[in-house]
Structure 1
């Protein structure tokens, strides 16, 4: 009788998997803080390992390369809020899309995205600065920009379904305007570098988007005529 030789058994340990996930999150969080504070070029894997309380081989085992650590830091920033789901699945985004009023949609968009930008804008600046010197990071940057632009088109289409855009403004132009004004880089310039408060930024962007994307309301039109 031929003996059946069985291959090695692979056991899953939920406890070990949880520990590994916690270690990866600790590394990503430490990298995120260091990349923002020191910049990508000056941050080493040894710096990240020390900040995370692990050995350098552990960092390499978790993410292999420094560019992959930066990708992990980006993912950590995106998911670091109270709701770790993708933005388009979060309640504030769904509420923004479903509201029947155009101006309320823009108010909700600015309010919700401001909270996201406070986490991701500094990391985006790290990625933007590092992209020209690294092909992998440059590919990440281009992918991020394409996805962000697509998301702006999605919200512009929802806006058009509720009423007209500003006269003479096509969907493509409106998408470009929203992409530019709503971009986290502009948030980082105004809040991170120029010292605007989050509230001032939110008020300014809401007013600016309403002015640039929508037809003036009847009340606004009468005030302009009277002036």
Structure 2
């Protein structure tokens, strides 16, 4: 006589719950890092804000620096997919645009949306970098990644033959205007809309880089 049939364990619900916990933890961490400061935010604070146990945070992200790194990646990409920014469809579409004036204008719109997600967190990391080693390392990584990305944008712009400046100057202009400082000053402090800011940034790039 055969024994009772064992039900196959379905882990899909558990996996979805784990993904939801990660999303809530990342959202809570981003908000607390921005409003309270990275240095003053603890794993317990993040857990309480996300409605999970501290052990859940540690299990998902190991430690606070790893949590900061992942929160930044999600803010940059706009979602939790592990797809590098330069490989995302919107960015590839920018590179595919043959008219550089149109490309820079569209890039200004794209960058403004990115600043909406990242500028406050970037400022929080910058503020903590002087006294926190992990924040300083994260800030250096952010700047390195952005410089690499703007260097690639500049190379692609030069390849069109439409630049009025040297390729390295183009990269420096893009790099210096995409760290969130301008967005924060004009949108957050002076009350500009994102639409006004992106239109201005596009004109700035076109006039500076195309002549």
Instruction: State the TM-score, normalized to the length of structure 2.
Output: 0.86
Tell whether the 8 Å contact from 1:29 to 1:76 is kept in structure 2 after alignment: no
Q: 1:80 to 1:155 in 2, by over 3 A?
A: closer
Tell whether the 8 Å contact from 2:39 to 2:132 is kept in structure 1 after alignment: no
Gaps of 5+ in 1: 1-10, 216-227
Whole-angstrom CA distance in 2 between matches of 1:31 and 1:126: 12
Aligned residue in 2 for 1:32: 30
Aligned residue in 2 for 1:138: 136
Q: Does 1:181 align with 2:168?
A: no
Higher RCO by CA contacts (8 Å cutoff, separation 6 or greater): 2
Q: 2:73 aligns with which of 72, 75, 81?
A: 75
Instruction: State the TM-score, normalized to the length of structure 1.
Output: 0.80
* Cα shift readout 1:167-223 (whole Å, capped 9, x = no counterpart): xx32222211111123323212221233221111111111110111113xxxxxxxx
Aligned residue in 2 for 1:162: 160
CA RMSD of aligned residues (A): 2.3
Q: 1:190 aligns with which of 186, 197, 207?
A: 186
Tell whether the 8 Å contact from 2:74 to 2:80 is kept in structure 1 after alignment: no
Q: Does 1:105 align with 2:73?
A: no
Gaps of 5+ in 2: 1-8
Residues matched between the structures, number: 203
* Cα shift readout 1:140-171 (whole Å, capped 9, x = no counterpart): 211211111111111111111222422xx322
Q: 2:63 aligns with which of 43, 62, 65?
A: 65
Q: 1:38 to 1:82 in 2, by over 3 A?
A: closer
Whole-angstrom CA distance in 1 between matches of 2:93 and 2:54: 44
